[in-house]
Amino acid sequence: MGIRKVAVAFMLFMTSFGAFAEMSPSMAVADMKGVNMPGWGELMSQPYFFEKELPFLRSAGLNHIRIPVSEHCVFDQQPSNDCSIERLKSFLAALDKNGFSATVDFHPTHDFFQEDSATWHAQFRQAWAVLGERLRNTDTHKVAFELLNEPQTTMSDWKGVIAGVVADLRSRDRQRTIILGVPKFYTPHDLMSQTAIDDPNVVYAVHFYTPMIFTHQGATWIPGSYYPAVGNVQFPVEFNTPEQKALCSNASDQAVAACKAYEDAAKEGMDEEKITKKFGDLQFWAKNQHTRVVINEFGALRYRAPIESRAAYLAAVRKAAEAKHMGWVVWDYSQGFGITEKSACGRRPVTPLFSALGLDTHGTKTYPMSCNLQ
């Protein structure tokens, strides 16, 4: 699309929202207490997930599920696809039955953005043409649409491509809560540099993983990163720990980069007070922009982080969000950042993490699945 066409589309897009000035917010995002469920298609196939786990999670205090939906889920509708749109509709119905609201999060794979921009733009528009139509009868008070997780593009390109998609969704779905984030990683800093869309049913999301040396220690999926060299980093990050001294005595390129990140994080001194200050800045931006913000990803990788520090981090982010009247959705349920873990009886809550999130495990050590609890 040429620059002139993008500009015209964006002007029409912005002008169209005058018609929606009197709309009431559809979803109470400030009240979200949720969890991300990557791998939800596989979870649906596991014993007792619907009968036991979802009711348990709701009784523990969670009320929202963010559902990552890849391009594979949208475009592959073979019966063997465990995350097809029909399966998604069944999952949404089960969540509704159990008292959850949900976000349908278009969360494509890394390969999605490796195509040229014209190709992924077209696939993005097509994905929401399909999802918007197939899910149009879901309850607008209970199901939000998140247009694109962490768009790997420029801000100007993103503004151009979302104009048509939001306008198309609004042409048939006036009340739906639409969630937007900003390129490339939904950071608070990048969001606060932007002007919000004038639509009371557009909500903005941020992802919070600061300090990364703590939250991503041991991560292996980020090419060229120092994370594989790091372990046993505690939260809050401090100077002169045995782990830091050992790391900084290593001359490898990975260790040198990690040592600098360690020192920077310790100097920043991120803790609950500073997180609350950051979220206060977000709240101020949202108030001035007449919009709302939700923290819909935060967490710490389980592999090398001390459990006490993972709990302290989740508690700090959760409390900061609640102090500033923002909803939160932790990453994630059962995978690398999971708040549950495998047991002989399937899955069980990681009690310190549930407690950090203000959730009630009712004194159980596992979900009442294949074991008879006494």
Could you state, in order of their start, the residue ranges of all structural domains in the chain?
Answer: 3-210+271-356, 227-269
Q: What is the pLDDT of residue 361?
A: 82
Lowest mean per-residue pLDDT among 27-36, 199-208, 279-288, 336-345:
336-345
Checking if the pLDDT of 109 tops 50, the result is yes
Query: Can you identify the CATH homologous superfamily of domain 3-210+271-356?
Result: Glycosidases (3.20.20.80)
Q: What is the pLDDT of residue 374?
A: 33
- 21-38 mean pLDDT: 77
DSSP per position, 215-259: HTTT--SSTT-SGGG-----SS--SS-HHHHHHHT--SHHHHHHH
CA distances from 77 to 71, 84, 92, 177, 254 (A): 11, 5, 17, 26, 43
Chain position carrying tokens 């991503």: 216
Q: How confident is the model at residue 26 (pLDDT cuts 50, 70, 90)?
A: low
- pLDDT tens sequence across 224-281: 899 999 999 999 999 888 888 988 998 899 999 999 999 999 999 999 999 999 999 9
Q: How confident is the model at residue 23 (pLDDT cuts 50, 70, 90)?
A: very low
Closest CA to 211 of 337, 303, 281, 313: 313
- Percentage helix, strand, coil for the chain under 3-state DSSP, each rounded to 5: 45, 15, 40
Q: How confident is the model at residue 117 (pLDDT cuts 50, 70, 90)?
A: confident
Q: What is the pLDDT of residue 373?
A: 38
Can you tell me whether residue 105 is helix, strand or coil? strand
Q: What is the pLDDT of residue 335?
A: 96
Contact predicate 42/68, CB 8 Å? no
Residues 135, 119: Cα–Cα separation, whole Å: 24
Checking if the pLDDT of 365 tops 70, the result is no
Helix (H) or strand (E) holding 278, with range, is helix 272-289
Checking if the pLDDT of 193 tops 50, the result is yes
Residues 202, 246: Cα–Cα separation, whole Å: 47
